[in-house]
Amino acid sequence: MTEKPASRKPENLDQDQFLTILSREEALARFEAALFPRSITGEPRQLAAALGCALSEDVMAPIDVPPFDRSNVDGFAVRSSDLASAGEAAPVRLRLNDEVIACGVAPQRPVLSGTATAIATGGPLPRGADAIVMVEHTQPCGSRAIDVRRATSPGQFVASAGSDIARGEALLRAGTVVGSREIGMLAACGIAEISVARKPRVAVLSTGDELVQPGEPLPAAAIYDTNGAIVAAAIDENGGEAHFLGAIPDDEAALETAMRKALLESDMLVLSGGTSKGAGDVSHRIIGRLGKPGIIAHGVALKPGKPLCLAVCDGKPVVILPGFPTSAMFTFHDMVVPVLRRMAGLPPRSDATVSAKVPVRIASELGRTEFVMVSLIEGAGGLIAYPSGKGSGAITSFAQADGFLKIDALADQMPAGTQTEVTLFTPHVRVPDLVVVGSHCTGLDLVTAPLAHAGLTVRSIAVGSLGGLAAAKRGECDLAPIHLFDDRSETYNTPFLSDGLELVPGWRRMQGIVFRKGDARFEGRTAEGAVRSALADPACIIVNRNQGAGTRILIDRLLGEARPDGYWNQPRSHNAVAAAVAQHRADWGMTIAPVAHASHLGFIPLAEEHYDFALVKARRQRPAVQAFLDALASEEGRAALTKAGFRPA
């Protein structure tokens, strides 16, 4: 923060040194220094209930495993010295002792020289014996003796006591997460109960007047509380025990009450929202009153996540994550997970990394370490990392990415073609079977549904028609969905194809004028008539489209020289146009029929837009591409498109 808080209470004075932006390394180091070392509380757990818990102390083996020397095969316990001269031509005859050592039977008789005792796999070695001869290597000689035709060495087929686990050895170390293999080792030693680290209890609060919980109706200007659910889940994933306490309005007194109560009942408190300089941002002020030392870092040179606030109140970490979900999640994983895992007695998380090439230039802000979420696809020369174009306000930037790359604080960009390291969100790269890069359409999901159901993974990266064409030319995708109108030839898509690409016709999307049902300026009119009456009413507001959109060309033709109010509102998607009209921010615009109908809006059809696919010829034979082409041509696919309001080509 560069701004001083408006009201500086005396108890906040000693925090002023922190009201500067710290590097992420410095912020994390100060946060950890204020919290650690601290003791981990252990609690007893029955073995069966310990799955997924971290051991709070080292476990030493209380016994030898196996507890006695035992036979690894079915055969005869012998003295190896008796068989030193045995061979194919010179069998040695051994007299059988009068017992059979089965599993669980303690031997009674010694094996004296010249004798053998029958023994089963797992049977304890009798006194005097030092080796086992496999039953296959012997011949019975009557019922009282055997002939052995090969020599045997001392210790053969014997598992000696403690050879698996030695009494007193460190079986498992503190911090080990108990999985099935660990449970197996503990059970082998007879351990029924272990001491595991008590999971830190973490209270989660969302803040904001605009937040509504999932399941509730969504009033105007409200949004669903995304962070509450995702933060709580991520806490559980990293060894904590999350307690979600709901969303609190931006009211200082209410928030302080909620924070105090949460902190009293928990080991840690994680809030989201309210860290920026908006009018309602109060939580960081409250922290100063909750306990010592208070705020450790408010403002970290990190993108996304600059407004992150880290604090420690009387030994308990208090964190305020940025409000935007992707920023919240990113900073949580980067700055909070290390601390949470340490408190939970878990080892640091080790994330897998891969090397990948960046196909486009990524601009970056100087002075902040920038993390860019990327989707990975397999290119001709290795992995390619596509930056997610949606920004930190979008939940999908984080949730649908494969990982992230890092741009140094001192760099203002990452040039196209850079080979860089990508930290994965999953243990392995998930290389998709079909890669679709270009303009997104809800119809696409209908066509790819059978592929997904057949176990093929489809990665669709929305970068717009031109971005898709560029990717297709570089051979980075299988298909590029495009809807580009060529003014000169008055045709769609074909004029934009280059060598190596072929056109696969997709479907037609009826474009037209969208308006609220019952609006007499539009209802029942032709497109030209509707535009005339809209232009005749100075209070009538249009929502336009961005330059370059096929739809925009239609709008400009309809308007001629007219520039009605709203002309400069130029969103980039069909859905944004429908939302503007539905929410009365505009009265009319141009969108496609399925989107207008989904929003229950009136619609005057005007002209069809061609949504086709530029197919990379060299990839046509790939099984997933074939499956896509089949799905596109199938009766089911065409019926699904038609039902949704598209017209298959």
CB of residue 223 vs ligand AMP: minimum separation in angstroms? 6
331 binds ligand AMP (CB under 6 A): no
CB of residue 275 vs ligand AMP: minimum separation in angstroms? 5
Peptide bond into 307 cis (omega under 30): no
CA distance 558 to 133: 97
Select from 9-17, 256-264, 316-324, 478-486 the region that touches ligand AMP (CB under 6 A).
316-324
Residues whose CB falls within 8 Å of the CB of residue 189, separated by 6 or more in sequence, listed in order: 61, 62, 63, 65, 165, 171
Segment holding 528, helix H or strand E: helix 527-536
432 binds Mg ion (CB under 5 A): no
Select from 204-212, 410-418, 496-504, 519-527 the region that touches ligand AMP (CB under 6 A).
204-212
Nearer to ligand AMP, 224 or 567 (CB): 224
Q: Max Cα separation, the chain?
A: 118
CB of residue 211 vs ligand AMP: minimum separation in angstroms? 5
Nearer to ligand AMP, 321 or 627 (CB): 321
CB of residue 307 vs ligand AMP: minimum separation in angstroms? 6
- The interface with ligand AMP within residues 242-281 (CB under 6 A) comprises 272-276, 278
- Secondary structure of 487-510 in HEC code, one letter for each residue: CCCCEECHHHCCCCEEEEEEEEEE
From candidates 32, 57, 147, 210, binder to ligand AMP by CB under 6 A: 210
CB of residue 615 vs ligand AMP: minimum separation in angstroms? 39
Select from 41-49, 72-80, 221-229, 520-528 the region that touches ligand AMP (CB under 6 A).
221-229
DSSP state of 165: B
Question: Cα-flanking dihedrals φ and ψ of residue 181, to 5°?
Answer: -70, -40
322 binds Mg ion (CB under 5 A): no
CB of residue 271 vs Mg ion: minimum separation in angstroms? 10
CB of residue 584 vs ligand AMP: minimum separation in angstroms? 21
The site partner of 139 among ligand AMP, Mg ion, none (C-beta below 5 to 8 Å per kind) is none
The site partner of 325 among Mg ion, ligand AMP, none (C-beta below 5 to 8 Å per kind) is ligand AMP
200 binds ligand AMP (CB under 6 A): no
CB of residue 274 vs ligand AMP: minimum separation in angstroms? 4
- Core vs surface per residue 376-405: b (16+ CB within 10 A) or e: bbebeeebbbbbbebebebbebbebbbbbb
CB of residue 390 vs ligand AMP: minimum separation in angstroms? 14
- Cα–Cα nearest to 592, from 606, 581, 580: 606
The site partner of 276 among ligand AMP, Mg ion, none (C-beta below 5 to 8 Å per kind) is ligand AMP
CB of residue 315 vs ligand AMP: minimum separation in angstroms? 26
Query: In 3-state terms, what secondary structure has residue 234?
Result: helix
CA distances from 509 to 196, 307, 478, 483, 570 (A): 59, 43, 22, 10, 20
* Token pair of 622 as six digits: 């790939």
C-alpha gyration radius of the chain: 35
From the number of C-beta atoms within 10 Å of its C-beta (0-12, 13-18, 19+), residue 36 rates as exposed
Select from 24-32, 41-49, 154-162, 203-211 the region that touches ligand AMP (CB under 6 A).
203-211
- Cα–Cα nearest to 21, from 331, 275, 300, 306: 300
Nearer to ligand AMP, 65 or 321 (CB): 321
CA distance 223 to 71: 68
Nearer to ligand AMP, 244 or 507 (CB): 244
Question: Cα-flanking dihedrals φ and ψ of residue 323, to 5°?
Answer: -75, -40
What DSSP assignment string belongs to 424-483?
A: ESSSS----SEEEEE---HHHHHHHHHHHHTT--EEEEE-HHHHHHHHHHTT--SEEEE-
Nearer to ligand AMP, 228 or 645 (CB): 228
Select from 11-19, 101-109, 319-327, 458-466 the region that touches ligand AMP (CB under 6 A).
319-327
- Residues 41-70: x where in contact with Mg ion by CB under 5 A, - otherwise, as a string: ------------------------------
- The interface with Mg ion within residues 261-290 (CB under 5 A) comprises 273-274
From candidates 162, 175, 200, 325, binder to ligand AMP by CB under 6 A: 325
Residues 273, 289: contact at Cβ < 8 Å? Answer: no
CA distance 155 to 163: 12
The site partner of 210 among ligand AMP, Mg ion, none (C-beta below 5 to 8 Å per kind) is ligand AMP
485 binds ligand AMP (CB under 6 A): no
Residues 217, 177: contact at Cβ < 8 Å? Answer: no
Give the residue at shortest CB distance from ligand AMP: 323
CA distance 313 to 208: 23
The site partner of 126 among ligand AMP, Mg ion, none (C-beta below 5 to 8 Å per kind) is none
From candidates 123, 175, 208, 438, binder to Mg ion by CB under 5 A: 208
Nearer to ligand AMP, 240 or 273 (CB): 273
> Count of alpha carbons within 13 Å of 431, Cβ hemisphere only?
11
The binding site for ligand AMP (CB under 6 A) comprises 206, 208, 210-211, 223, 225-228, 272-276, 278, 322-325
The binding site for Mg ion (CB under 5 A) comprises 208, 273-274
